[in-house]
Amino acid sequence: MDLEDNRAEGWKYLNKQYFGDGERANYVNIPHVIAMVGLPARGKTYISKKLSRYLNWIGINTRVFNLGEYRRHATSAYTSHEFFRADNKEAMAIRQQCALDALHDVCEWLVKGGEVAVFDATNSTRERRRMIRDIVVHKMGFKLFFVESICDDPRIIEQNIMEVKVSSPDYTNIQNTDNVLNDFLLRIEHYKEKYEPLEENLESDYSFMKIYDTGEKVVVHKHEGHIQSRIVYYLMNIHIVPRTIYLTRHGESLHNIEGRIGGDSALSPRGQQYAGALAGYIETQAIPGLRVWTSWMRRAIQTVKDVKAPQERWKALNEIDAGICEEMTYAEIQEKYPSDFNARDANKFAYRYPRGESYEDLVARLEPVIMELERQGNVLVVSHQAVMRCLLAYFLDKSAADAGRVRLPRGTRRARRRRRRHAPPSPAGQYRTSHATRHMPHATYHTVIKLTPVAYGCREEHVALAVAAVDTHRPRPPVSTARHTPHDTCHTPHTTR
Amino acid sequence: MDLEDNRAEGWKYLNKQYFGDGERANYVNIPHVIAMVGLPARGKTYISKKLSRYLNWIGINTRVFNLGEYRRHATSAYTSHEFFRADNKEAMAIRQQCALDALHDVCEWLVKGGEVAVFDATNSTRERRRMIRDIVVHKMGFKLFFVESICDDPRIIEQNIMEVKVSSPDYTNIQNTDNVLNDFLLRIEHYKEKYEPLEENLESDYSFMKIYDTGEKVVVHKHEGHIQSRIVYYLMNIHIVPRTIYLTRHGESLHNIEGRIGGDSALSPRGQQYAGALAGYIETQAIPGLRVWTSWMRRAIQTVKDVKAPQERWKALNEIDAGICEEMTYAEIQEKYPSDFNARDANKFAYRYPRGESYEDLVARLEPVIMELERQGNVLVVSHQAVMRCLLAYFLDKSAADAGRVRLPRGTRRARRRRRRHAPPSPAGQYRTSHATRHMPHATYHTVIKLTPVAYGCREEHVALAVAAVDTHRPRPPVSTARHTPHDTCHTPHTTR
């Protein structure tokens, strides 16, 4: 294939922008392109999205570039599998151009500060992979890692088609799912004609990973560096067996009632009531092979004391360490450390409690928990507000930086609804509402969040058990009120981190 | 092979001891047997020892059982490769019995609380692997993971033989290394006759990992659970390319002079002098591809400001967080928190500074650093006393629990030598010496530790650069003086963590 396409100058320009005219000194983190390989319906998009979610969550700026979207953009409405015939010259030219367009965008995004670009396409011929290598490695100087998904189990393929292809924009005009299935199977046949799996003897210089039958077997070839290692480790651990993760905060604690953060207090009477309700709920669900994970904190352990399932304690699930602010109320913190209080509101992710932790620290220590959760079947995780926010951020595809503001059911939903009912949604209104409930903390229900993987994401359900708890959510103050006075502090609701 | 050998009752007994008569409730961490597979001189012992070192360091109780040692114990002095002929019936019976003995010890050790046993043997036939599976999985209910090392590069094999086999106890009577090489190559030939590599179709139920050509390619089959994942990840990252790691503490800081721990102070004038000397030393060494890693702390960054090599900062390399004791002297800590002070002396590994970290926490946060160091070539790591202790513990094969007492050159060697010269090596003597130098802190030299992998371990060299520094080592008090009085505190030397 001729690399001197009409974009040759463009590549040179991009390259120059990235590397400058001289050598880059102290050059450490080379951008990566992860190029998927495999026939249609082998889970390439699933892997791409999941990988991107994980890398973003651990703080590596990652984006998926899906070739199908470029193709849909470049062509009129999809008619049938005929488009993908190997002898359809016109379509082939379009597809080639789309690949170049997508790669150009990949490189441009990496030049502008992206760290990992996942190129989600079939890349099913050696010629195509050589083209990618020439652009990504030779022209741009980036790292390239191929991830091939191989699966010959017709049940998995059909399930995949029915789950995600039926709802593809390609098939909005075809109502009958059987017709979709048949068209898609023919599309796969066209690809099969020219498919060349990665071959270590023929493509001996490439770094790649081959995943067989959704992880039953994995082959890794010439992987190099930190990011590739992490990717291999992560993709080795994900599985596609259906299961559900149950997340809940511990029951209301004595400190919660007083509005104090941190510490290691016991459950309040209502918290104990929740422990009973939770055990009852879990029993009614009769969840096969359930495991229970808690932090090492008393309030978490007490919350599951009657749950009948094998239990494990994780230090990594302990609540964020609030350092010198441990066991204080927000009012006390603001009075004693007003500048810290404001710094935290300005950037909750990076803010580290003096002698304590930030959300950023939390994500780092929760990473092994996530890895282990990926490996497990049904799990009930009982932890704490900040920890649950980070875990939810992962499952709901938020960047690590957004974790600090993820909404949790206990302490948000009901309280917000009330706020909305009682006052206009203005900054002033928020405080007025808080003020109104100053001597009567928000009440809300203890809630279990059920997370069930579906297609490319997670279904989230909230199961409120009928045991009330104080609201511990402190909404982010609007920018204009970032400088609190000691007076307005007293009005902010209770413990939130 | 007949499993009803004369130890059948023994297995049952072990099994009963382990599982009791009923089911084990809340049973979570199943002991693991990692069984090596491969021809002689394929690095099985290297992998076994390195893996065991890593697992122990991260806190998983691991032990290697080397079949060669059982064989040497069971037979008179080794004469020649003839012992390993496939048609040597008598020898075969001995070898079979040795394997059973070793497996029995493996299981007994796991029953008594061991977590991972590495069975370092060729295990090169399917029959042998089936026997291991029957005992480990079926009789004992443990997990089994095979690790096969495959290498056909004659240079690597010969290098391996010359490095480690020549010094084997088998060859103490043979002086000529050529004779050793020839005998060992014939030994390999005997194994080759019956060697059956792991085969996913024939051994489809096994969890295993195959490592080709020291990591060039890796195949993983049906791995399950946390420990196996960690093992795969680790073994994917180790390499055998020769290189050297240079470790040093930052130069003397202003806090060091005052005997204060933690904080983020700048370098003292002598510390700055060391920064210059270090840059000069590194320059004279002309180390190919050197990278420099430091913590994010000022004293570490200032120490390498003139070193000419690409630099990276690691938050994970920051000094242990001393929590409420940050920036205090030991005398102040003991006066203000005497019970903490004593608790720390009693168990330095598990002791966590209030609102701060323990050595245990430190090992957890340093694990990614170790993983990355394994992947790198030549690296200069500039960090802090507690962090360096943990890193050294890994390279010098100390358990995590011993990390807290690893000796570092700056602050130990010269000071101790002086102590030995001036006073008897009794507990009282230590304090007398400290007392004598109370107003004149121990002086010692800033030192670089060079670590070079050799055979199954690491060669450690200390390069003292001629720049003095205060001694910051506080020796562990003898048990009898564990209860300090405020008076004797003043005599303990300076900042040590």
Q: Show pLDDT as tens, one digit a residue, over chain B (497 residues).
A: 343 444 455 555 555 555 443 333 333 368 999 999 999 999 999 999 999 999 999 888 999 999 999 999 998 888 889 899 988 999 999 999 999 999 999 999 999 989 999 999 999 999 999 999 999 999 999 999 999 999 999 998 998 898 888 888 888 877 788 889 999 999 999 999 999 999 999 999 999 999 999 889 999 999 987 789 889 999 998 877 789 999 999 999 999 999 999 999 999 999 999 999 999 999 999 999 999 999 989 999 999 999 999 998 888 899 998 878 889 998 999 899 888 878 888 888 888 887 678 888 898 889 889 988 998 899 999 999 999 999 999 999 887 677 777 777 654 444 333 333 333 333 333 322 223 233 334 568 899 999 998 878 889 999 999 888 888 777 666 544 333 333 333 233 333 34
- Dist. CA A404–CA B126, nearest whole Å: 53
Burial of A434 per CB tally in 10 Å (0-12, 13-18, 19+): buried
pLDDT higher at A37 or A213 = A37
Active site residue A458: no
Of B200, B441, B250, nearest to B330 by C-alpha is B441
Give chain A's largest Cα–Cα span. 76
pLDDT at A486 over 90: no
Best of A236, A239, A241 to disrupt the B interface (most B CBs within 10 Å) is A236
Residue B150 forms contact with A (CB below 8 Å) = no
**Number of C-beta neighbours around residue B396 at 10 A:** 17
- Dist. CA B409–CA B448, nearest whole Å: 8
Chain B residues whose beta carbon lies within 8 Å of the beta carbon of residue A321: 355
Chain A residues whose beta carbon lies within 8 Å of the beta carbon of residue B311: 26
DSSP-assigned letters across all residues of B205-241: T--EEEEEGGGTEEEEES--HHHHHHHHHHHHH----
Query: Measured at the alpha carbon of residue B488, what is the angle toward residues B486 and B494, in degrees to the nearest 5?
Result: 100
- Dist. CA A332–CA B256, nearest whole Å: 35
Residue A289 forms contact with B (CB below 8 Å) = no
Q: What is the mean pLDDT of chain A?
A: 82
pLDDT at A17 over 60: no
pLDDT at A425 over 50: no
B41: left (phi over 0), alpha (psi -120 to 50) or beta: left
- Tokens for A21? 């005219």
- Dist. CA B111–CA B378, nearest whole Å: 41
The pLDDT score that the predictor gives to residue B14 is 58
Residue A199 forms contact with B (CB below 8 Å) = no
- Dist. CA B232–CA A219, nearest whole Å: 12
Report pLDDT digits (tens) over A174-228. Answer: 778 888 999 999 999 999 999 999 999 999 999 999 999 988 999 999 998 778 9
CB B236 within 8 A of CB A220: yes
Cβ separation A221–B216 shorter than 8 A:
yes
Angle at which helices B225-237 and B44-57 cross, to 10°: 120
CB contact set of B11 (below 8 Å; sequence gap of 6+)? B104, B107, B135, B139, B140
Query: Looking at chain A, which residue has its C-alpha nearest residue B233?
Result: A233
Scanning B7-66 for CB atoms below 8 A from A yields: 25-28
The pLDDT score that the predictor gives to residue A51 is 96
Q: Considering B32, B98, B148, B151, which one is annotated as catalytic?
A: B151
How is residue A43 annotated by DSSP? S
Best of B23, B236, B301, B369 to disrupt the A interface (most A CBs within 10 Å) is B236
Q: Which helix (H) or strand (E) holds A444?
A: strand A443-454
Query: Looking at chain A, which residue has its C-alpha nearest residue B201?
Result: A217
Tell me how long chain A is.
497
Report pLDDT digits (tens) over A374-420. Answer: 988 999 999 999 999 999 999 998 876 777 777 776 543 443 333 33
Chain A residues whose beta carbon lies within 8 Å of the beta carbon of residue B321: 355
Helices (H), B286-358: 298-303, 330-336, 338-346
Nearest to B226 among A323, A324, A372 (CB): A372
Cβ separation B217–A216 shorter than 8 A:
no
Task: For residue B422, report the phi and psi dihedrals to the nearest 5 degrees.
Answer: -85, -20
Query: Looking at chain B, which residue has its C-alpha nearest residue A292?
Result: B26
- Dist. CA A7–CA A23, nearest whole Å: 24
Residue written as tokens 């010098």? B396
The pLDDT score that the predictor gives to residue A229 is 87
pLDDT class for A15, splitting at 50, 70, 90?
low
Strand B208-212 to B443-454 pairing: unpaired
**Number of C-beta neighbours around residue B236 at 10 A:** 23
Three-state SS at B15: helix
pLDDT at A243 over 80: yes
CB B37 within 8 A of CB B165: no
Query: Measured at the alpha carbon of residue A83, what is the angle toward residues A82 and A84, in degrees to the nearest 5?
Result: 90
Three-state SS at A303: helix
Angle at which helices B359-375 and B385-395 cross, to 10°: 60
Query: Looking at chain A, which residue has its C-alpha nearest residue B210?
Result: A219
Q: Which helix (H) or strand (E) holds B95?
A: helix B89-111
CB A285 within 8 A of CB A380: no
Active site residue A319: yes
Query: Measured at the alpha carbon of residue A24, what is the angle toward residues A21 and A28, in degrees to the nearest 5?
Result: 155
Query: Looking at chain B, which residue has its C-alpha nearest residue A370?
Result: B226
Distance of CA B62 to the CA centre of its chain: 11
Q: How far is residue B395 from each of residues B164, B243, B406, measured CA to CA in Å?
A: 19, 13, 11
Q: Is the ipTM of this complex over 0.85?
A: no
Judged by average pLDDT, the poorest of A428-437, A447-456, B381-390 is A428-437
- Dist. CA A449–CA B417, nearest whole Å: 62
Active site residue B325: no
Chain A residues whose beta carbon lies within 8 Å of the beta carbon of residue B222: 216-217
CB A394 within 8 A of CB A49: no
- Dist. CA A443–CA A270, nearest whole Å: 11
Strand A379-383 to A291-294 pairing: parallel
The pLDDT score that the predictor gives to residue A281 is 96
B427: left (phi over 0), alpha (psi -120 to 50) or beta: alpha
pLDDT class for A444, splitting at 50, 70, 90?
confident
- pLDDT > 90: what percent of chain A? 54
A169: left (phi over 0), alpha (psi -120 to 50) or beta: alpha
Nearest to A355 among B200, B236, B323 (CB): B323
Of A302, A318, A386, nearest to A352 by C-alpha is A386
Cβ separation B28–A310 shorter than 8 A:
yes
Active site residue B250: yes
Residue written as tokens 């993971």? B145
- Dist. CA A275–CA A305, nearest whole Å: 7
Q: Considering B115, B120, B183, B252, which one is annotated as catalytic?
A: B120
Of B126, B74, B81, nearest to B99 by C-alpha is B74
pLDDT at A283 over 50: yes
The pLDDT score that the predictor gives to residue B63 is 97
Burial of B30 per CB tally in 10 Å (0-12, 13-18, 19+): middle
